[in-house]
């Protein structure tokens, strides 16, 4: 009888551990980089999607680390050519890394932030955005990885959610003997458009997250500044109030907090 009882206790402990593991996995937000197939010289599109794990997700952030032979295309403004899915009613802000690199020459990754001034949840399984990738004309055949790094997610209150990512890739295959040339139609790139900037009035201490000029309000131009700081295209000292946890970085959860401050006039 003792053996049966001990065996039952051990089994229950194992089952409890498994259930906790499954529950933890189910509550983790996953940002997934997709895959594409093309031939040397082609332009292909790779989609990035979201699994919420049952969480309420309103914004995401991740880096796509790419091989120098499969370059993420750049817009005329020098930003990564990554376009938000219009169905999720968000904005995609993107920048190449490292800071001040030259697209097509020495950039090694693209950081993409999905957010907006609304805090509507992004549906589970949604496509977040799509990036255009150019394959070098002399690219050897094979599979080239697209690594997912620095994955973050935020809830409506600006709290960081547990998040991870999965990698994608591009498979390069021989060009068919009979080819039909199909030119992809470039979708318009949605980028945050700065409003005219009012000259800031310096004050000793900002009163809320994203309040750059200390006037007890967060405006759309200040939100754009926050995005640029998060993408490392603008120094943090341009608006230190975005860095609410004082880790010298601005992340997507801090941007969502600033959006909430804008909607509540810093009374949230």
Is the predicted pLDDT of residue 202 greater than 70, yes or no? no
For residue range 225-240, what is the model confidence (pLDDT) as tens digits?
999 899 988 899 999 9
192-268 in CATH: which number? 1.10.1330
Per-residue CA distances from 243 to 28, 71, 187 (Å): 24, 31, 33
Confidence of residue 264 (pLDDT cuts 50, 70, 90): confident
Confidence of residue 168 (pLDDT cuts 50, 70, 90): very high
CATH of 28-172, one of 2.60.40.680, 3.40.50.720, 1.10.3720.10, 3.40.1000.10: 2.60.40.680
Burial classification of residue 67, based on how many CB atoms lie within 10 Å of its CB (0-12 exposed, 13-18 middle, 19 or more buried): middle
Q: Which of 22-36, 38-52, 62-76, 136-150 shows the lowest mean pLDDT across its residues?
A: 22-36
Q: For residue 146, give both structure tokens.
A: 């697209």
Confidence of residue 176 (pLDDT cuts 50, 70, 90): confident
Q: How far apart are CA 113 and CA 101, in angstroms?
A: 19
Is the predicted pLDDT of residue 167 greater than 50, yes or no? yes
Length of the chain: 268
What does the domain layout of the chain look like in residue ranges?
28-172, 192-268
Is the predicted pLDDT of residue 7 greater than 70, yes or no? no
- What is the structure's pLDDT at 116? 82
- What is the structure's pLDDT at 251? 94
Q: How far apart are CA 224 and CA 194, in angstroms?
A: 6
Q: Please tell me the pTM assigned to this model.
A: 0.73
Confidence of residue 191 (pLDDT cuts 50, 70, 90): low
């Amino acid at each position: 009888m003792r053996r049966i009882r001990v065996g039952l206790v051990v089994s229950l402990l194992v089952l409890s551990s498994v259930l906790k593991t499954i529950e933890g996995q189910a509550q983790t937000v996953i940002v997934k980089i997709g895959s594409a197939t093309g031939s040397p010289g082609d332009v292909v599109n790779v989609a990035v999607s979201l699994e919420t794990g049952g969480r309420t997700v309103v914004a995401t952030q991740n880096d796509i680390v790419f091989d120098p032979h499969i370059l993420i295309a750049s817009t005329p403004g020098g930003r990564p050519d990554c376009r938000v899915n219009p169905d999720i009613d968000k904005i995609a802000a993107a920048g190449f890394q490292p800071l001040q690199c030259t697209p097509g020459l020495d950039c090694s990754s693209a950081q993409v932030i999905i957010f907006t001034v609304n805090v509507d949840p992004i549906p589970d399984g949604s496509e977040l955005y799509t990036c255009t990738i150019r394959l070098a004309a002399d690219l050897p055949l094979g599979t080239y990885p697209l690594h997912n790094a620095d994955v973050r997610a935020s809830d409506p209150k600006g709290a960081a959610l547990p998040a991870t990512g999965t990698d994608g890739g591009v498979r390069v295959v021989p060009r068919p003997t009979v080819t039909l040339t199909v030119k992809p139609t470039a979708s318009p790139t949605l980028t945050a458009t700065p409003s005219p900037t009012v000259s800031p009035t310096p004050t000793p201490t900002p009163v809320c997250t994203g309040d750059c000029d200390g006037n007890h309000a967060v405006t759309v131009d200040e939100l754009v500044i926050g995005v640029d700081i998060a993408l490392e295209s603008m120094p943090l000292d341009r608006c230190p109030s975005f860095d609410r946890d004082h880790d010298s970085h601005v992340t997507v959860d801090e941007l969502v907090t600033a959006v909430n401050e804008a909607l509540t006039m810093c009374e949230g």
